[in-house]
Amino acid sequence: MSALPTGTVTLLFTDLEGSTSLIRVLGDRYGDLLNDQRRLLRAVVERHGGSEVDTAGDGSFAAFPTARDGVAAAVAAQRAMVEHPWPAEAVVRMRMALHTGEPRLAERGYHGLGVHLAARLCQSGRGGQILLSESTRAVIADDLPQGVSLVELGERALKDFDRPQAVYQVVAEGMPEAVASGPPALRVVLADDSVLLREGIARLLESEGFEVVGQVDNADDLVRRVGFAKPDVAIVDIRMPPTHTDEGLQAARRIRERHPGVGVLVLSQYVEAEYATGLLSEQTEGTGYLLKDRVAKVDDFTDAVRRVAGGGSALDPAVVAQLVGRRRVDDPLAELTAREREVLELMAEGLSNHGIAARLVVTERAVEKHVTNIFAKLGLAATPEDHRRVRAVLTLLQS
């Protein structure tokens, strides 16, 4: 790696939109396309005085000593992507984002909040867009390259950031505008050593509006891919090479430790209640455990993915049924009525009061009353520290 700029620098993140679809269309030729894209980008970065920091999958990370150089490079890269003769059957679009700050220099590249902001901003864009953070706009506003203007897109919520961030789009003369409409697609990384199942889930998710930003067949590659792609959720097979025991479960724990903002949905071939209770007893937020058969129920599966990505939980009904059916001594659930147990089971699956009401065909007010009774019978007094709903589910899992 060449010497990286220090002090105030402008960071550029890029990635290809819809890379999984490109792989499916092009097959082995995708490697040639990716090599062409990287050559184009590297040439542009070098020509504008930048330094390549890292590459992984279809993404790249570069740094520039000035914001003007970074914006000029992004525009040149956009133009090069439009003018390049890509395969006729492929739609190739690269999204880019720039943020200016003072990241810390580590042994390999940069680290700091600004690096994560630039990456998240890139992920929020659409193919063909160049997005700027407020800090880059403030520096570049009076020093834009010729033929370049800015469009204010308003504030945008970025994953892992408490406050919405002001976002701007670079528009260059002669280049098509690519203004995003609606929220960006949820980003997913898939890990399963069965390529057929992995591809099947990827196609299903893409058809439902998700963006699959990575597919891997082992736990180590999964953790690395999550670290670079920063997806909203990782979908993980519980049994993967080399031992096919609990590698996926261990990877899920590593992801939650290193990337707490990434949801983890574990898939299992069979009901393994001890794994499910172990996983969710540690943390329910942004965590799920489903049987692979559940994937075929598309609405249930995609709802679970969205809940986990949004910080909720999802537990397979078959696992819940097994947990509820266990014989217990001093059962903490013994005082619950049949309907209250039913409501608690649906809470464990991750459903909201509205979702429970729809499933049971009752009013939402009736569900609220049952939930209040559950809290009272389990002795779950309201406290600032604990969320009673989570504590009720933990009582079900741990009892």
CATH code of residue 137: 3.30.70.1230
Do 146 and 47 belong to one domain? yes
Name the domain count of the chain.
3
- Whether the CB-CB separation of 38 and 32 falls below 8 Å is answered with no
Structure tokens belonging to residue 171: 């528009």
Instruction: Tell me: do 17 and 163 sit in the same domain.
Output: yes
pLDDT tens digits, residue range 305-361? Answer: 998 988 888 888 887 777 666 655 667 777 888 898 888 888 877 788 888 888 888
For residue 371, the domain's CATH number is 1.10.10.10
- The arithmetic mean of pLDDT across residues 126-150, rounded, is 91
- Which CATH number characterizes residue 305's domain? 3.40.50.2300
Q: Phi, psi (5° rounding) for residue 106?
A: -105, -175
The residue among 148, 150, 153 whose CA lies nearest residue 174 is 148
Residue 1 lies inside a defined structural domain of this protein:
no
φ and ψ of 20, to 5 deg: -65, -40
**Full domain range(s) for residue 130:** 9-172
DSSP assignment string, 160-224? T-SS-EEEEEEEETTS------SSPPPEEEEE-S-HHHHHHHHHHHHHTT-EEEEEESSHHHHHH
Look-up of token digits 């019978």: 377
pTM for the full model? 0.60
pLDDT for 121 = 92
**Domain membership flag for residue 143:** yes
CA gap 373, 336 in Å, rounded:
8
User: Is there a domain that residue 3 lies in?
Assistant: no
Q: Are residues 24 and 150 in the same domain?
A: yes
Q: Are residues 226 and 147 in the same domain?
A: no
Mean pLDDT on 91-105: 93
Please indicate, yes or no, whether residues 24 and 168 belong to a single structural domain of this protein.
yes
- Domain co-membership, 153 together with 75: yes
For residue 300, being part of any structural domain is answered with yes
Q: Is residue 182 part of a domain?
A: no
pLDDT of 114 > 80? The answer is yes
From the list 123, 111, 196, 197, the residue with the least C-alpha distance to 156 is 123
Mapped onto helix, strand or coil, the DSSP state of residue 4 is coil
**Do 6 and 59 touch, CB atoms closer than 8 A?**
no
